[in-house]
A and B are shown apart, each in its own frame.
Chain A
Amino acid sequence: MRLEVDITGKSFKSAAGGTQEVLAPVRFALQSGEVGVLIGPSGCGKSTMLRIILGLDRDFEGHVSRPPEARIGMVFQEPRLLPWRSVEQNVRLAAPDVTDAKLAELFRILELDAHRSHFPGELSLGLARRVALARAFAVEPDLLVLDEPLASLDDALAGRLRDEIATLVARRPVMTLLVTHSLDDAIRLGDRLFLLSPRPARIVREVPIAIPRAERSEAELGKIRAELAALQLESK
């Protein structure tokens, strides 16, 4: 499966009557098994791009081709759980075909076992984010979209969840699109990084990371980090 994004432009009508350009031409593609990372300053139009890719916003110029049968798993910036359904029901409603064994495994990996029957209002943000992750993985997605899934979590928890995401992504071939501010998340999870400009967003540079995810040592990560820092200086 392959996701092809070819957006030629997107603008909003502002309240004052003018039009505001949000996206400049953006073009990239993603294969099964690849993790693409969109990195850019806040407000550059990343969320708008995701909405277009997910089919929530059809008012744009260009073309997005996504296999029609592709199942989508999404982790929104806010958890977006149904407050009136329990944790388990939240997952099952999005993924009705999930087996009990698979669900049990997900809950074990994400340490949600004790919270199955809780309502989202009783959970901390960190827990709610894990439920959102569980929901996205339970559908066994072909396209997994993660919109800053680790924002506003403390470093230790974010680190653990990042490892969990890596584990889950490694399990089956899935096209993953990750949006993040964190360079660290990007180089630890990504296969290809897309560096975005400020609004209207365009891809300033595409940086492939050749070393497989599991084999990236701290030294190599440091090297990639330094390269990226140099690139970013250069582009400014």
Chain B
Amino acid sequence: MLRLLSFALLLAIWWTAALFVGAAKLPSPSAVLDVVIAEASSGALFLHLGATLARVSLAFVLAMSLGSAIGYLMGRVKLADRLGDPWLILLLNLPALVVIVLAYIWAGLTEAAAIAAIAINKLPTAIVTLREGARALDRSLDEMASVFAMPRWRAFRHVVLPQLAPYIAASARSGLSLVWKIVLVAELLGRPNGVGFEIGVAFQLFDTPRLLAYSLTFAAVVLVIETALVQPFEARATRWRPRAA
């Protein structure tokens, strides 16, 4: 209820601001909605959203699985940590734009280049988070698993993984927001479709309603994924924690 109220307040502010600034700079919510409906009925909206979502999910899965594995290894094995750390620092501080441009130069304006570039941007933060998670693992539970001769996979699944779950959730959440941002840049620079491409077109034409129509639907999709996927996973992973009454 409170959320709805706050959302309504946002709309009201937007509407009044649009009245003052003028439609060229800030179109009213209804004008934006008109564009959304028009784009949706022509099918273009879904095409572009679909292309962006596909890139996001591929890059996200790639970065999360690779980053989790590397981060876990670095948290558990000292040698891996020492070897990997300089690379990690380099990757962490490499600007997203540099990675994207280099990927396009080296691999051409291809889908693979775009997805790899997005994944590489997300990779180091996933590594850092999972490394912290692996470092924080409870040694006494490891010992318990070893004394009771639990097979490796069972120990990983029931002893290690639940301890990593909050770190995976945190990394997924921050990673998703990072990937959302970067995918648009990659599309703007070198893809013929997707929300980023459409925003590029809207920018060249100074078509603000179109720009807002695409970015807001995109934001709505992000919100739905966050509440429908990320939050339930977090709730499930922490279900064993005694809740405050």
Query: Chain A interface (Cβ within 8 Å of chain B)?
Result: 51, 54-56, 71-74, 76, 78, 80, 82-85, 89, 93-96, 119, 121-122, 135, 139
Is A74's CB under 8 angstroms from B141's CB?
A: no
Assess the A83–B240 pair: CB atoms within 8 A.
yes
Assess the B140–A121 pair: CB atoms within 8 A: no
Q: Which residues of B contact A (CB under 8 A)?
A: 140-141, 143-144, 146-150, 154, 158-159, 162, 240-242
A76 with B140, Cβ < 8 A, contacts A85-B158, A93-B150, A94-B150 known? yes
With contact pairs A93-B154, A119-B240, A121-B242 given, residues A82 and B141 touching in the complex (Cβ less than 8 Å): yes
Take A78-B140, A80-B141, A82-B159 as given contacts and tell me if A56 and B240 are in contact as well, using a CB distance cutoff of 8 Å: no
A-B contact pairs, 15 of them (CB 8 A): A51-B143, A55-B146, A55-B147, A56-B143, A72-B147, A74-B144, A78-B140, A80-B144, A83-B241, A85-B240, A89-B158, A94-B144, A121-B240, A122-B242, A135-B148
Q: Which chain A residues border B144 with CB–CB below 8 Å?
A: 74, 76, 80, 94
- Closest residue to B147 on the A side, CB-wise? A74
Interface of chain B: mostly helix, strand, loop or mixed? helix
- Asked if B162 and A82 sit within 8 Å, CB to CB, the answer is yes
Find chain B residues with CB under 8 A from A56 CB: 143, 146-147
Tell me which of A55, A78, A93, A121 contacts B241 (CB under 8 A): A121
Task: For B242, list chain A residues within 8 Å (CB).
Answer: 119, 121-122
Q: CA of A19 to CA of B10 in the docked complex: distance in angstroms?
A: 67
Bound-state Cα–Cα, A12 to B150, Å: 28
Q: How far is the CB of B156 from chain A (nearest CB, A)?
A: 12
Complex: how many Å from CA A85 to CA B145? 14
Which residues of B are found within 8 Å of A82, using beta-carbon distances? Answer: 141, 158-159, 162
In the bound assembly, the distance between CA atoms of A96 and B150 in angstroms comes to: 9
CA distance A76 to B140 in the complex (A): 9
A119 and chain B: residue at smallest CB distance: B240
Closest-by-CB residue of B relative to A50 is B147
B149–A80 contact, CB under 8 A? no
| CB neighbours of B241 from chain A (8 A) | 83, 121
